Structure 1
Amino acid sequence: MILVVDIGNTNIILGVYKDDNLLGNWKMLTRNVKTSDEYGMCILNLLQFNNINYKEIRSAIISSVVPNIIHSFTNSIKRYFNIEPLVVGPGIKTGLMIKSENPKEVGGGRIVNAVAAIELYGGPIIVINFGTATTFDVINKKSEFLYGITSPGIQISADALYSKTAQLPNIEIKKPKSILAKNTITSMQAGLVFGYIGQTEYIIKKIKEELKNTNIKVIATGGLGKIISNETSEIDIYDSELLLKGLKIIHDKNIQM
């Protein structure tokens, strides 16, 4: 079995593969940095609760955009699983060529999603990740990562409304029945969700316009992506497990089990 891990700005996402089957996936909050022992025990408890024998895990791969966590997390895998994890970064085979001006600036999660999208759905393709930030990445049919657009995530926008205004509440992000809101909560939900649908559609259309390709496929992923993808015809496929699939693909390119 293979342990796959993505350390994002908001959540740490873990999954376990047996052959090509994803046995389960779980989330941990990123914000509280833990020791390697705390991470190790947390992972073991998750696996035990889900009836997965940690002794059967023979390999691991990690991607991260949070430098202050990767050291202790990597050490937890070494100590508690007796595994040297593969870390997505320079020197790792991905099959993806980064053509941006500074390839080192492209985060591990974006690379992993791009690899999964091009392998599973073919190119050219636009990959949208609705995460802490929302990213729009363009990959051509030669598996070249060409362009990336970054905007504030939906949750960041909601948090800004709550923290920067005196009278607006912290709300659940969901689509209201109508954009014609009659109270504060639904007015915020309408502005966030419908506003984000409009932003997403405009960026996709603008990318297609500048590429002169209206047929490019659009794949979306990320926790809040389903809310948006359900409301627009501009997104072709929503794949909630794209990141985990990408980690497995990159693992298999580098390690033969």
Structure 2
Amino acid sequence: MLLAVDVGNTNIVFALFDGSEIRGRWRIASDPRRTGDEYATWLTQLLAMEGIERSAIKRIIYSSVVPRAEHNLSVLAKKYFDIDPLFAGQGEVAWDFEIDVEQPHTLGADRALNCIAAHELVGGDMIVVDFGTATKFEAIDYNGAYKGGIIAPGINLSLDALVGKTAKLPRIAIRAPKGSSVIGRNTEEQMLIGVFWGYVAMMEGLIDRMKAQIGRPVKVVATGGLAILFDEKTDIFDVIDADLTIRGLQILADRAGTQ
């Protein structure tokens, strides 16, 4: 089995693949101070709950946008699984697609993996929208080349800024507003409308502008935890795949295994 680990700024996702099937998926808060021993204790318990022996894991691949976490994840792989892990974008799992931007080396691992998975699983000209700490929009052509994109504050970051910089506004949970009215009747409703519908309007506007600039038919692929929530209120997405990033890790690891 393959253990694929995607380290984001907010969460780390561990996914266990048996071939292309995801056998288990677990999430833990990102903390670069967490040691390899702590990861091992947590992960071993979760594997046991699923009836999976630690020895069943034969390969490990990581992607990370938090460099400080990489050492402790290496300790996890080597000490507890006796495996030299692969790091996405490095060595035998270096990026194998064209990164057609001014500073190719600055492309984050999560964005690169979304490009790989979307091209493999969907194909054609695409815009990939990834809802994370930041919301990223990626333009990918029919050859799988990354042509550039957009980085916007994630909706939770936007809400944190709104609440943190005001004295009286309450903290609210992100959800779809009830009904279709965009005129709120109380403070919390007004905040929710502003954050949610404002975010939908931003996405729709940016995607329309990207499509116009690309000038060819484009599929819009969405990933990340909030993709399904927004899909309920807009028709801009053609494909929803919450596992796009970790599927990119699985594809990259399998390609390396056949070389």
* TM bracket, shorter-chain basis: over 0.9
Q: Does 1:24 align with 2:27?
A: no
Q: Does 1:189 align with 2:189?
A: no
CA positional deviation for 1:45 = 1.6
Mapping 1:86-235, distance limit 5 Å: 86-91=86-91, 92-177=93-178, 178-213=181-216, 215-235=217-237
CA positional deviation for 1:32 = 5.9
User: How far apart in 1 are the matches of 2:212 and 2:234?
Assistant: 18
Q: How has the CA–CA distance of structure 1 residues 40 and 256 changed in structure 2, closer, same or farther, with 3 Å as cutoff?
A: farther
CA positional deviation for 1:93 = 4.1
Structure 1 stretches of at least 4 aligned residues deviating more than 3 Å after TM superposition: none
User: How far apart in 1 are the matches of 2:31 and 2:197?
Assistant: 29
Q: Higher mean Cα deviation, 12-21 or 174-183?
A: 174-183
Say whether the 8 Å CA contact 2:99–2:146 is kept in structure 1. yes
SS of 2:14's equivalent?
A: strand
User: How far apart in 1 are the matches of 2:208 and 2:20?
Assistant: 35
Count the aligned residue pairs: 256
Q: Higher mean Cα deviation, 141-150 or 181-190?
A: 181-190
Is there any run of 5+ residues in structure 2 with no aligned partner, and where? none
Q: Does 1:7 align with 2:7?
A: yes
Say whether the 8 Å CA contact 1:14–1:26 is kept in structure 2. yes
SS of 1:97's equivalent?
A: coil
Say whether the 8 Å CA contact 1:62–1:86 is kept in structure 2. yes
Say whether the 8 Å CA contact 2:32–2:68 is kept in structure 1. no
Q: Which one of 231, 238, 245 corresponds to residue 243 of structure 1?
A: 245
CA positional deviation for 1:232 = 1.6
User: How far apart in 2 are the matches of 1:230 and 1:97?
Assistant: 34
Q: CA RMSD in A?
A: 1.4
Matched letter for residue 234 of structure 2: T
CA positional deviation for 1:81 = 0.9
Q: Higher mean Cα deviation, 41-50 or 126-135?
A: 41-50
SS of 1:98's equivalent?
A: coil
Say whether the 8 Å CA contact 2:135–2:153 is kept in structure 1. yes
Is there any run of 5+ residues in structure 1 with no aligned partner, and where? none
Cα-to-partner distance string for 1:73-128 (whole Å, 9 max, x where unaligned): 12111111111111012442443211111111100000111100000000211111
Cα-to-partner distance string for 1:159-209 (whole Å, 9 max, x where unaligned): 111211111122110011142222222211111111111000001100011
User: How far apart in 2 are the matches of 1:33 and 1:26?
Assistant: 19
Say whether the 8 Å CA contact 1:9–1:132 is kept in structure 2. yes
Q: Between the two proteins, what is the percent identity of the paired residues?
A: 38
TM-score by length of 2: 0.95
Q: Higher mean Cα deviation, 23-32 or 108-117?
A: 23-32
Say whether the 8 Å CA contact 1:93–1:254 is kept in structure 2. no
Say whether the 8 Å CA contact 1:94–1:253 is kept in structure 2. no
User: How far apart in 2 are the matches of 1:63 and 1:229?
Assistant: 27
Cα-to-partner distance string for 1:28-49 (whole Å, 9 max, x where unaligned): 0004621111112111122112
Say whether the 8 Å CA contact 1:127–1:220 is kept in structure 2. yes
User: How far apart in 2 are the matches of 1:144 and 1:82?
Assistant: 35
TM-score by length of 1: 0.95
Matched letter for residue 206 of structure 2: I
Q: Higher mean Cα deviation, 32-41 or 198-207?
A: 32-41
Say whether the 8 Å CA contact 1:196–1:228 is kept in structure 2. no
